[in-house]
Chains A and B, each alone.
Chain A
Amino acid sequence: EAGVAQSPRYKIIEKRQSVAFWCNPISGHATLYWYQQILGQGPKLLIQFQNNGVVDDSQLPKDRFSAERLKGVDSTLKIQPAKLEDSAVYLCASSLFYPGRWNTEAFFGQGTRLTVV
């Protein structure tokens, strides 16, 4: 079974530039998550999708971050404009969804390491 695919693996940009990350979840997984992981910290949930609808984006800095999952499959996360403090690993994860059950186990991609200089 193919895992969660993310690209690119690495990205270096200058501050105030824009950047986009792509995620293709495991086939059939209705739930998709984006996380930001700063060095030395645990992953921080940015946004959760259920199919193409947003379930939780309370921790997404909406002034500069945006995410979409138009067809309920793959997803993109964008930062515009980037700041130095956005340097982190951006992780995508996906899980199955069963009605009546809050969540199932999530499977993570390898992440995209972003460096803002």
Chain B
Amino acid sequence: DAKTTQPTSMDCAEGRAANLPCNHSTISGNEYVYWYRQIHSQGPQYIIHGLKNNETNEMASLIITEDRKSSTLILPHATLRDTAVYYCIVSDMRFGAGTRLTVKP
């Protein structure tokens, strides 16, 4: 079973920030947190990952709590093309059901 839990679905207005939470309370000290997204009929696409520190790349930002038991993926300016299922996983590479993000005009 996956070590992560995420809300089933979320909505976000186009142009606003999308904040997707993830709980991973049983994460081990050397396990990374990874975020992927999957658009219909495609394989999952890597977004970002981190261990302890917050991370940012051209796609998103990742905020990890100090106790590492939860994290938040931030899409700073969501577009309609960001509508997808977002998965938070740890280093064991086991996926849960993810969060279905719908960006609305």
Q: Which residues of chain A have a CB within 8 Å of any CB of chain B? A: 4, 33, 35, 41-45, 48, 91, 93, 102-103, 105-111
Whether B44 is near chain A, meaning CB under 8 Å from some CB there, is yes
**A33: which B residues are within 8 A, CB to CB?**
93
Give the residue of B32, B46, B94 whose beta carbon is less than 8 angstroms from that of A45: B94
A48 touches B93 (CB 8 A): yes
Q: Among A33, A42, A45, A105, which residue has the most Cβ atoms of chain B within 10 A?
A: A42
Determine how close the nearest CB of chain B comes to the CB of A24; give it in whole angstroms.
14
Residues 61-84 of chain B, each 1 if its beta carbon lies under 8 Å from chain A, else 0 = 000000000000000000000000
A42 touches B97 (CB 8 A): yes
B contacts with A, residue count (CB < 8 A): 21
**B45: which A residues are within 8 A, CB to CB?**
108
B43 touches A110 (CB 8 A): yes
Residues 29-69 of chain B, each 1 if its beta carbon lies under 8 Å from chain A, else 0 = 01110100000001111100100000000000000000000
Known A42-B2, A42-B97; judge A109-B43 contact (CB<8 A). yes
Determine how close the nearest CB of chain B comes to the CB of A46; give it in whole angstroms.
11
Known A105-B46, A107-B46, A110-B43; judge A44-B95 contact (CB<8 A). yes
CB<8 Å pairs between A and B, sample of 11? A42-B85, A42-B95, A43-B44, A45-B93, A91-B43, A91-B44, A102-B91, A105-B46, A107-B46, A108-B43, A109-B43
B43 touches A93 (CB 8 A): yes
Determine how close the nearest CB of chain A comes to the CB of B15; give it in whole angstroms.
28
B95 touches A106 (CB 8 A): no
Give the residue of B2, B31, B94, B95 whose beta carbon is less than 8 angstroms from that of A102: B31
Give the residue of A44, A103, A111 whose beta carbon is less than 8 angstroms from that of B43: A111
**B21: which A residues are within 8 A, CB to CB?**
none
Q: Residue on A with the closest CB to B89?
A: A42
Bound complex: CA A35 to CA B43 (Å): 10
**B97: which A residues are within 8 A, CB to CB?**
41-42
B49 touches A102 (CB 8 A): no
A105 touches B43 (CB 8 A): no
